[in-house]
Amino acid sequence: MNTAEQSTGAESASCDVVVIGGGPAGSTIATLLRQRGRSVTVLEKEQHPRFHIGESLLPQNLRILERLGVLDQVRAIGVPKHGAEFNSQMHSSPVTYYFENAVDKRYPYAYEVRRSEFDHLLLQNAACQGADVHQCVRVVDVDLRAGARSIVHGVDEHGNRSEWHTRFVVDASGRDTLLANKMGWKQKNPKHNSAAIFGHFDNVVRRSGRDEGNISVCWFEHGWFWMIPLRDGRMSVGAVCFPEYLRTRKTSPEEFLWQTIRACPSVNERMREATLTGEVRATGNYSYTSRRMYGDGFLLVGDANAFVDPVFSSGVYLAMSGATAAAEAVDVWLRDARAGERLLRRYQRDVRRAIRMFSWFIYRFTSPAMRSLFMAPGNVLRMEEAVTSMLAGDVYGASPIRAPLALFKVVYYVSWVLNLRRAWAVHRRRRRNARVQFVEETQAGD
């Protein structure tokens, strides 16, 4: 750190941009701004590598990884993921959507990664590009000053206080949602709420051949499971459930997860010889958004702005793609605030549109109508191709998938009406759970 003054009893330094958070969003925007010659400081509250859930990337992530210069490194730590497999107890066999069948043929696969390794790699890359990275520094306050340098206040693990005077603040603090909490912008999603319990396991049966690295999504009575193959034979397994179900837990988190696994035959069958490695974790209150995404000298990116249910593995992609657009907007803003304002407005519009596209499917994912459509794919008028493209992350720009996706929605609503009794029961349960408060647990134990 370059010490400039001691005016408040804390060490002080200056830079063009302070990025709060060293996850995928923070590391991405820091790297891209450094490539544009900006002085960037990254403040990360933890020491990497650290555990994080969300191991499944989307094919559209690859173009960003290429731009960051880390694709070969990700390839070395990842498991190739050629598609997404869906399983339902109401159907006899799984269905796999292969990314090679998407509209954009340039990226026919993605990777499954340990987030501890992936996030560490991205943060190291930002440092190698010249970002001033500080780990184990928690941001405790931000003084946003329109028309002047803002001040970011941090405390390290030893209690030493520091402050950074910066022209622009990027909040990439993830689910800490630092600015949204501070400014009162954070709001619970009134349409959706879910909770998850998850762990890592050895000795889980994998698919064979090129399907070995595919994510498996399995519906069951209380929500859905993910099964994500990682390197060295490990598997990430988690259940995303209605909060009312997780509130019925009377046992330890570990036993409750096993109980939930036994309630889903397609998952249980593959885990008969499985052994848990590490702790079982739970998290809740998934869905939220911030009323504001940017302002004079600041913006929110990734989970610091919004988080939706992870059913389509969209979290890392939305964070990194949003950070890519945000980097351009911030760079322009630092040269010309008026021109930058226009790009920030476009950034907000595009991110919200992408979230809406994923959210329409997420809100309805547990509906019998959606399950039936996913388990009986057909490429009539390119509908299957469009759904595959959405699963691959093709949710920006003037994509040709918009018309067939609109048709898919029409078919969904028709199917919903034809299965009215069951569909309405699930709809009522989802809406009821959207009002349920679920206390987040960060680790195993009561």
Give 6-20 pLDDT, tens digit per residue: 345 578 899 999 999
Return d(Cα 15, Cα 358) in angstroms, integer.
36
Angle, CA of 202, 245 and 86, to the nearest 5°? 50
- The dihedrals phi and psi of 290, each to the nearest 5 degrees, come to -105, 140
Q: Please state, in angstroms and as integers, the Cα–Cα distance from residue 183 to each residue in 68, 245, 276, 344, following that order.
A: 32, 32, 41, 19
Closest CA to 198 of 289, 97, 145, 277: 277
In terms of CATH architecture, what is 86-111+195-283+366-446? 2-Layer Sandwich (3.30)
Its pTM stands at 0.93
Quick one: tokens of 153? 């206040």
In terms of CATH architecture, what is 11-78+113-188+288-356? 3-Layer(bba) Sandwich (3.50)
Give 183-236 pLDDT, tens digit per residue: 999 998 888 888 899 999 999 999 999 999 999 999 999 999 999 999 999 999
Residue 180: predicted pLDDT: 97
Closest CA to 162 of 43, 289, 298, 288: 43
Return d(Cα 169, Cα 145) in angstroms, integer.
10
Q: Is the Cα torsion angle 189, 194, 200, 205 positive or negative in sign?
A: negative
Residue 439 CA to its chain's centroid (Å): 20
Residue 54 CA to its chain's centroid (Å): 7
The two beta strands, 186-188 and 83-87, are unpaired
- The dihedrals phi and psi of 6, each to the nearest 5 degrees, come to -125, 35
Closest CA to 18 of 47, 48, 46, 38: 38
Query: Which H, E and C letters describe the chain, residue by residue?
Result: CCCCCCCCCCEEEEEEEEEECCCHHHHHHHHHHHHCCCCEEEEECCCCCCCCCCCECCCCHHHHHHHHCCHHHHHHHCEEECEEEEECCCCCCCEEEEHHHCCCCCCCCEEECCHHHHHHHHHHHHHHCCCEEEECEEEEEEECCCCCCEEEEEEECCCCEEEEEEEEEEECCHHHCHHHHHHCCEEECCCCCCEEEEEEEECCCCCCHHHHHCEEEEEECCEEEEEEECHHHCEEEEEEECHHHHCCCCCCHHHHHHHHHHCCHHHHHHCCCCEEEEEEEEECCCCEEECCCEECCEEECHHHCEECCCCCCCHHHHHHHHHHHHHHHHHHHHHCHHHHHHHHHHHHHHHHHHHHHHHHHHHCCCCHHHHHHHCCCCCHHHHHHHHHHHHHCCCCCCCCCHHHHHHHHHHHHHHHHHCHHHHHHHHHHHHHHHCCCCCCCCCCCC
Mutual orientation of helices 24-35 and 315-335 as an angle, nearest 10°? 30
Return d(Cα 269, Cα 7) in angstroms, integer.
63
Return d(Cα 305, Cα 292) in angstroms, integer.
8
pLDDT tens for the chain, 446 residues long, are 333 333 455 788 999 999 999 999 999 999 999 999 999 999 999 999 999 999 999 999 999 999 999 999 999 999 999 999 999 988 889 999 999 999 989 999 999 999 999 999 999 999 999 999 999 999 999 999 998 999 999 999 999 999 999 999 999 999 999 999 999 999 988 888 888 999 999 999 999 999 999 999 999 999 999 999 999 999 999 999 988 898 899 999 999 999 999 999 999 999 999 999 999 998 876 689 999 999 999 999 999 999 988 889 999 999 999 999 999 999 999 999 999 999 999 999 999 999 999 999 999 999 999 999 999 998 888 999 999 999 999 998 666 888 999 999 999 999 999 989 888 988 888 888 877 655 444 343 33
Quickly tell me which residue has 């498991």 as its tokens: 79
Quickly tell me which residue has 């440092």 as its tokens: 127
Gyration radius from the chain CA atoms? 22
Task: Show me where the domains of the chain are located.
Answer: 11-78+113-188+288-356, 86-111+195-283+366-446
Count other Cβ atoms within 10 Å, centred on residue 351: 23
Mean pLDDT, the chain, rounded, equals 92
| Structural contact between residues 434 and 191, judged by C-beta atoms closer than 8 angstroms | yes
Residue 222: predicted pLDDT: 93
| Residues linked to residue 163 through DSSP beta bridges, in sequence order | 12, 153
